[in-house]
Amino acid sequence: MRGTIWLAVVLCACGPTSKNPGGGGDDDGSGTADAAPGTVYMDAAVDIDAQCGAQMENIGVVNLGDPPDLLVVLDRSGSMTSPPPSFPPVFDTKWSIMKSALNQIALAKDMNIKFGLLEFPSDENCAADATPEVAIALNSHTAIASYFNARSPGGNTPAHVALTSAKSYYQSIPVNTAGRYVLFATDGVPNCLGGDPDAASDAQTVAAVTSLFQAGIPTYVLGFGTFGLPVGVLNDAAVAGGKAKPGATKFYEANNASDLNMALQAIAGGIIVPSCSYQLASAPPDPMNVTVTLNGTPVPRDPAHNNGWDYHPNSMTITFFGSYCSTIQGGASTAVNFVYGCPGPILQ
């Protein structure tokens, strides 16, 4: 299944480009290299039609990269009813903030990531279900929103039980070659060893994360509202999961809504590897009369497929090559535009 990305596509009629807009290097700070040596622009004596780009139309473009799986293993323990420790103080509960943040990321990335959700505890004590409350799938944001509308916090923190269930669930469904991941989100220290709420389960939690990693399922560890708590187990779990952050704090730490949203964005960005090919919803009126930009910087057309872009009429796709492909896959490109009717630079 492919993820749909909405890009601004400009349909217009205009004269040829006048000169190299960049001049060489990355002087504009766009994160995209300016035109390479050997780039040929049209006659500088011809001015661009002032109306070029005046007619805007949004057209769906399908990124050919397949979405990875992300199973959120979510702490629903009773401590989620308290607000996170932060300054200035906030009065929303950790649960309500987490609900908003997960709903937001699931909606924003619902065609780029196959989300699922498995809670712990599933009762008001020390259990976790064998299968997720929300199965891994595209367009799961509605199911995740429905889950939050029906559930509230309560019980203890049997993280090791839920993480073990996560591995079993992944082993019961087809392997997603685009990637399989767990997001372990918790606000405290795991317990419930042997079903005893007073018995710590640090070692068992790290062992469950290690087992996931050995099965080819890396785990991101997110501690929300954990300031001041003994979080060595979260550091150990982050290292065991193969997604440790640099520095002393190895897990993703958030103590307010802003931090939580940024952490979720970083994690989502870390598992999405965009394809360098985009399929167009319609063919350009003239394939030789197209300008393509990344972050506003024109990209040269490169028929040799070394460093630029090219159009494939049989499949109606545009593919980026070389440093431009690396820019897209590295997440540095935030805006891809295809301008029909305006000829862009061509590598010779």
Q: What's the CA gap between 222 and 82, in Å, rounded?
A: 17
Specify the CATH number for the domain of residue 266: 3.40.50.410
Measured torsion, CA atoms of residues 161, 271, 66, 103, in degrees rounded to the nearest 10: 70
* Domain closes at, from 271, 299, 320: 271
Rounded to two decimals, the pTM is 0.70
Considering its fold, how many domains does the chain have in total?
2
Host domain of residue 10: 3-64+277-347
pLDDT given at position 348: 63
Co-location of 117 and 195 in the same domain: yes
pLDDT given at position 45: 30
Co-location of 213 and 332 in the same domain: no
pLDDT given at position 202: 97
Co-location of 90 and 54 in the same domain: no
pLDDT tens digits, one per residue of 42-79: 333 333 344 444 333 333 445 566 899 999 999 999 99
Contact status, residue 263 vs residue 252, Cβ threshold 8 Å: yes
Beta-sheet strands, E only, within the chain: 3-11, 39-40, 56-63, 69-75, 114-120, 134-137, 180-186, 219-224, 252-254, 277-280, 290-294, 297-299, 309-312, 317-320, 336-340, 346-347
Co-location of 248 and 333 in the same domain: no
> CA quadruple 232, 73, 105, 293: dihedral positive or negative?
positive
Co-location of 282 and 310 in the same domain: yes
Co-location of 175 and 26 in the same domain: no
Co-location of 123 and 9 in the same domain: no
Co-location of 142 and 263 in the same domain: yes
Co-location of 75 and 35 in the same domain: no
Co-location of 11 and 73 in the same domain: no
Co-location of 131 and 218 in the same domain: yes
* Domain closes at, from 223, 245, 271: 271
Co-location of 109 and 217 in the same domain: yes
The stretches in the chain having pLDDT less than 70 are: 1-65, 331-334, 340-343, 348
